[in-house]
Amino acid sequence: MPIVRVALDVPLHRLFDYQLADACPADVGRRVRVPFGRGEKIGVVVATAESSEWPLAQLKTARRIEDDLPPLPPDFFQLLEFASTYYQAPLGETIMAALPAGLKRLTPPQRRSGRTQRPPTAQPRPQLTAEQAAVIDAIDIDGGFVPHLLFGVTGSGKTEVYLRLIERALALGQQTLLLVPEINLTPQLEARVRARFPEQTIVALHSELAEAARERHWLQALRGEADVVLGTRLSIFTPLPRLGLLLVDEEHDASFKQQDGMRYSARDLAIVRARQQNIPILFGSATPALESWANAENGRYRRHFLLQRANPQAQLPPVRILDTRQIKLQEGVAEPLLAAIRNRLERGEQSLVFLNRRGYAPVLACPACGWISHCQRCAANLVVHRADHCLRCHHCGFEARIPRACPTCGNQDIQAFGRGTQRLESWLQEQFPAARILRVDRDAVKSRKQWEEMLSRIHGGEADILVGTQMLAKGHDFPRLTLVGVLGADAALFAADWRAPERLFAQLMQVAGRAGRAELPGEVIVQTQYPDHPLFAALVAQDYPSFASNQLQERAQAGFPPYTFQAILRAEAPQMADALAFLQAAVTLPEAAGQDSISIYDPVPMRMARLANLERAQLLVESPSRPALQQFLPRWREALEQLRTPRQLRWHIEVDPLEC
């Protein structure tokens, strides 16, 4: 009796053997129903085999699921196998996680075909700028695996480059996968692509799609019917039998990194997939990840430049730095910024005030006894949310009512310290009573739908002043927006996290890029106590390359990525001692001893040591060689799996962590 190896949603690093009557290569990539434990499971056949390490008599029997789906293509498994090995994640779980929920149910839901949208009338293509034309000429769509990095300032027309490349892939009969950050996948983008290619099938894939829609789009991709898939990070695992082109927009964006379960980077996997498929891949950004920039510098990626805005009337806005040591502040806002906002109001233009801190104030405190609003479950403060009359933990969601008096000494005069977007909003409203102010942050915008409504209100001119967090920084065109003010940037300058400057610079460049996108000239005003900081000099010069080379030099000297490769082992438990003891045991395992070119650091509590009543600790593993690290990790992980741990202890390995 022939044997099949089946992927099952089980947290183990192996596949499961079953008997299957007349099993043949055509079964590979198809779903089967198998007995498992006391019940049944749906799995996917990954391979057929002649023999098993288990006695044949012990192998249970799988049953085929009869449907009209094509089998999952081999490259789908290739990518998932790579991901599971590279990120130390269980293979079966990894494979099954890539399938839509409906395909994994023992009693599958009724499948309905969706509405087919009427094709819009084709929009004319703009004449390419000279820079765009040069980029497109330099990219060979049919020449096998070549990684390209498109460095294009905000508004330089990167999207038009994507559209032209898609056009070429379509002409070759190929599918394109365009990955975008979570927040950028809006119907506007979809509509823009649809309008360019009205005859083609364009589908979106993201986590907020209704289950049925997600399954339908996924199946369109698998059947080769979808010509273009627009998706967020999870769509990197979409089966695409005709895939010919991979595009990653805003490739530096943190949302390409999955932060739980298998902690993968969709951007990095995109490169792997392009190499496996032998197809070109293009990364686009105005502020590339330093890893990508380094890869362009060392010649691994081909670099292309768009240094001018596509619309010749839309100039990059000048950036002005306000030294707040010299200027009196009112509620954290300097008079020149206030004057600039007033000026925009008089002209009927929009302003955006960027403050990357939501809530009313970051903490409530009692000046008499020193009490502060601390989360009982986390090593963090409760943030004051006036709008909801509560104190809220931004890490675990814990909520409490705002007390009238100090809980320890009874003092009635407790105060909210510092400023968040809500406080800024209400203060600005007092300054400009007639202005229409719109706050845009995670509290005001909780779902994709609300985000879309918010965007259309802004576009519809329903706001004079926008107060917002980084949500507002991402690639959206607001034609009447001519002023961007930045508050509270200094906190990130001296953060313990050495990636903070990279993130801050990207954020500031993005948010600055919102000003002056159309005919009206824009201006950016940044308040800081450190006007001489090199980061601001690079911002004023709008000079990402010099910022990047500075940062890369510092990283090379300090021995940080991309000049070293890292993995983190994290443990969490109700008691810190248990978490640390587990990590200490991990260090002393024989598998961890005397490894050439692997450094294992001491276990330490995490920067935020307590989250939702769990104590968290971690240790860093480093190597100058990625292959060495990759050789080390599986053996170490297997040894870790044998360790006996306290019942409530959880641990995981993260490869290429973004936060450490």
Residues in touch with ligand ADP (CB under 6 A): 126-129, 132, 152, 154-160, 310-311, 475, 477
- Residue 160 interacts, among Zn ion, ligand ADP, none and using kind-specific CB cut-offs from 5 to 8 Å, with ligand ADP
- Return the number of the residue (126 or 367) whose C-beta is nearest ligand ADP: 126
Q: Work out which of 33, 377, 448, 457 binds Zn ion, going by CB under 5 A.
A: 377
DSSP 157: -
- Return the number of the residue (163 or 353) whose C-beta is nearest ligand ADP: 163
Tell me if 472 contacts Zn ion by CB under 5 A.
Answer: no
Scored b (16 or more CB within 10 A) or e, 525-552 reads bbbbebbebebbebbbebebeebbbbbb
Q: Work out which of 48, 276, 411, 426 binds Zn ion, going by CB under 5 A.
A: 411
Q: Cα(196)–Cα(122) distance, rounded to whole angstroms?
A: 6
- Return the number of the residue (28 or 509) whose C-beta is nearest ligand ADP: 509
Write the single-letter amino acid at 330.
Q
- Residue 375 interacts, among ligand ADP, Zn ion, none and using kind-specific CB cut-offs from 5 to 8 Å, with Zn ion
Please, what is the minimum distance in Å from the beta carbon of residue 67 to Zn ion?
46
DSSP 590: G
Q: Work out which of 18, 151, 237, 398 binds Zn ion, going by CB under 5 A.
A: 398
Please, what is the minimum distance in Å from the beta carbon of residue 289 to ligand ADP?
17
Residues in contact with 562: Cβ distance below 8 Å, sequence separation at least 6, in sequence order? 290, 291, 294, 295, 552, 555
Tell me if 368 contacts Zn ion by CB under 5 A.
Answer: yes
- Residue 175 interacts, among Zn ion, ligand ADP, none and using kind-specific CB cut-offs from 5 to 8 Å, with none
625 in Cβ contact with 566 (< 8 Å): no
DSSP 14: S
- Return the number of the residue (132 or 421) whose C-beta is nearest ligand ADP: 132
- Return the number of the residue (182 or 490) whose C-beta is nearest ligand ADP: 182
The CA angle 84-174-199, to the nearest 5 degrees, is 125
Please, what is the minimum distance in Å from the beta carbon of residue 476 to ligand ADP?
9
Q: How many residues does the chain have?
A: 660
Tell me if 417 contacts Zn ion by CB under 5 A.
Answer: no
- Residue 369 interacts, among Zn ion, ligand ADP, none and using kind-specific CB cut-offs from 5 to 8 Å, with Zn ion
Q: Cα(454)–Cα(125) distance, rounded to whole angstroms?
A: 28
Q: Is 321 helix (H, G, I), strand (E, B) or coil?
A: strand
Write the single-letter amino acid at 491.
A
Q: Work out which of 226, 274, 406, 583 binds Zn ion, going by CB under 5 A.
A: 406
Using alpha carbons, select from 142, 318, 373, 104 the residue that is nearest to residue 245: 142
Please, what is the minimum distance in Å from the beta carbon of residue 584 to ligand ADP?
49
Distances (CA, A) of 52 to 48, 59, 81, 570: 10, 9, 20, 35
DSSP 605: E
- Residue 310 interacts, among ligand ADP, Zn ion, none and using kind-specific CB cut-offs from 5 to 8 Å, with ligand ADP
- Residue 366 interacts, among Zn ion, ligand ADP, none and using kind-specific CB cut-offs from 5 to 8 Å, with Zn ion
- Return the number of the residue (129 or 324) whose C-beta is nearest ligand ADP: 129
Report the 10 Å Cβ neighbour count for 591: 15
Using alpha carbons, select from 259, 268, 304, 261 the residue that is nearest to residue 289: 268
Please, what is the minimum distance in Å from the beta carbon of residue 400 to Zn ion?
11
Please, what is the minimum distance in Å from the beta carbon of residue 306 to ligand ADP?
7
Please, what is the minimum distance in Å from the beta carbon of residue 128 to ligand ADP?
5
Tell me if 409 contacts Zn ion by CB under 5 A.
Answer: yes
Q: Is 123 helix (H, G, I), strand (E, B) or coil?
A: coil
Tell me if 432 contacts Zn ion by CB under 5 A.
Answer: no
309 in Cβ contact with 521 (< 8 Å): no
- Return the number of the residue (195 or 400) whose C-beta is nearest ligand ADP: 195
Tokens of 264: 């993968």
Write the single-letter amino acid at 534.
P
Residues 39-68 that bind Zn ion (CB under 5 A): none
Please, what is the minimum distance in Å from the beta carbon of residue 171 to ligand ADP?
20
Tell me if 393 contacts Zn ion by CB under 5 A.
Answer: yes
Size of the site for Zn ion (CB under 5 A): 15
Tell me if 556 contacts Zn ion by CB under 5 A.
Answer: no
- Return the number of the residue (160 or 578) whose C-beta is nearest ligand ADP: 160
Please, what is the minimum distance in Å from the beta carbon of residue 518 to ligand ADP?
8
- Residue 406 interacts, among Zn ion, ligand ADP, none and using kind-specific CB cut-offs from 5 to 8 Å, with Zn ion
**Beta strands 565-573 and 614-623, pairing class:** antiparallel
Region of 407 (left: φ > 0; alpha: ψ -120 to 50; beta: rest) is alpha
Q: E strands of 472-559, at which residues?
A: 481-487, 523-528
